[in-house]
Every structure is written in C-alpha cells, then in structure tokens.
Amino acid sequence: MTGGDAPRITILENGPYLVRGGIPITDAAGSRLEAKEPYALCRCGGSSSKPFCDGTHKRNGFVGEEAADRGLIAARRIAYRASGIVVYDDRSVCSHAGHCTGGLPAVFRSKADPWIDPGGATVDEIVEAVRRCPSGALSYALGDSAEPAEESRGFRITASKDGPYHVAGGVPLLSAGGAPYEIRQRYALCRCGHSRNKPFCDGSHWRAGFKAS
C-alpha cells in the first residue's frame, strides 16, 4: 500500500469524515454498504443519504469544531485493580452505549462510587464485557502486566442504529488540521452533529433524538 491509499479517516473542517484505504463499512445489521473510494461519511446528522455525506453540512450551518483531548490515553485513564486483572477507564471518550452497565452490572455500577468493582465477577466475564465496549473507553490488562490487552481486529466501520460510527482495528484518525489522534483499536465517532466531545461520540444522540433513517 502506498501512502496515498493507506487506511485512515480524516476529519474535514465543518464537514464529513473522509475515509481512505478500502476500510469496509457495514450497517447496524452487519450488511456491507457499497462505497466508492474514497468515501465521505456524514458528520452533521442531516444528510438524506446517511451514512454518506450529501453536502447538507454546507447548508445547515454545521460547526464541527473538535473538542476532544488529544493527549495520551495513559494520562487520562483510571485503573481499577483486582486479582488477575486491571480494568482501565477513559471517561473522556465514553459513548454511553451501556453495554457494560447493562451486561455486567455487578462490576459496572452506574450509581455506585467507585463505579467499577473488578472484584464483582470472574476475569473471563470482565474481559468479555470490556470487549463489547465500542468506544474503547474501557480496556483491561491481565496478570502482572500493566499493558492493555487488545484482540486483533480487522479495519472496519459500523454505522450503528441511530448512533455513532463504531470504528475498529486501529484505524488512524487525523484531525481537520492534519494532526493525528493516538491510535486506538476501538473508538466511536459522532454522526449526529451534537457531541460536545467531537469527533468522538458522547451520547448526545440520545438527547437529540437522532434517527439515521
């Protein structure tokens, strides 16, 4: 692969996400969507051709200024330790999908402090719950290691139902100014236009009543 077609997502100023490098995109049901390279994904929430951009951002006054912290993930995350496992939490990128609190409430306790109790389930149960986190806010390390363990995932983008784009596989993400975000295996990109943590989803689509169709 040459530099020109290396897999990456570039944020266009007050515009869409430009996707290069043959990254497949599927709908929420897992069906592959046909897209000509490179393809542009709607970021303002107003396109009539979702998930693809149709230029609506030029007419609806969309402001897509990026507000997310571009610092190191390791400097932001909080560690919760138990025998055999460490659960890391980076609240700054949580999309509030609820897979953790809904799937393993004995560990991920929405109304408790601290909200994560890694002693509340087996290591295998916690690992499975963390792997379901689409935003990458949650990660884990096993045994005596402090390095987060991530399963190998192929490049892919999923347009979730009435929610963000779930990006997997460590796809490089570039800001509108060309600066790279730290590469992560999983992240959730806002596509409703309302996140206060752009480009990442912060759950604002729930409050905005965003509909993808």
Q: How confident is the model at residue 3 (pLDDT cuts 50, 70, 90)?
A: very low
Name 104's Cβ contacts closer than 8 Å, sequence gap at least 6: 120, 121, 125, 126, 129
Q: Which tokens hold the place of 115? A: 């909200």
Domain boundaries, the chain: 73-142
The pLDDT of residue 2 is 42
CB within 8 A of 11, min separation 6: which ones? 17, 18, 43, 64, 66, 173, 174, 175, 176, 199
> What are the φ/ψ torsions at residue 116 (nearest 5 degrees)?
-110, 125
Tokens matching residue 169: 């596989």
Identify the bridge partners of residue 87 per DSSP, sorted by sequence position.
80, 140
> What would the pLDDT profile of 148-198 be if each residue is shown by its tens digit?
998 877 999 999 999 999 999 999 999 999 999 999 999 999 999 999 999
Give the right CATH number for 73-142 from 3.50.50.60, 3.40.50.11750, 3.30.70.20, 2.130.10.10. Answer: 3.30.70.20
Decide if pLDDT at 204 tops 60. yes
Question: C-alpha 9: how far from its chain's center?
Answer: 13
| pLDDT recorded at residue 4 | 59
Contact 188, 24 (CB under 8 A): no
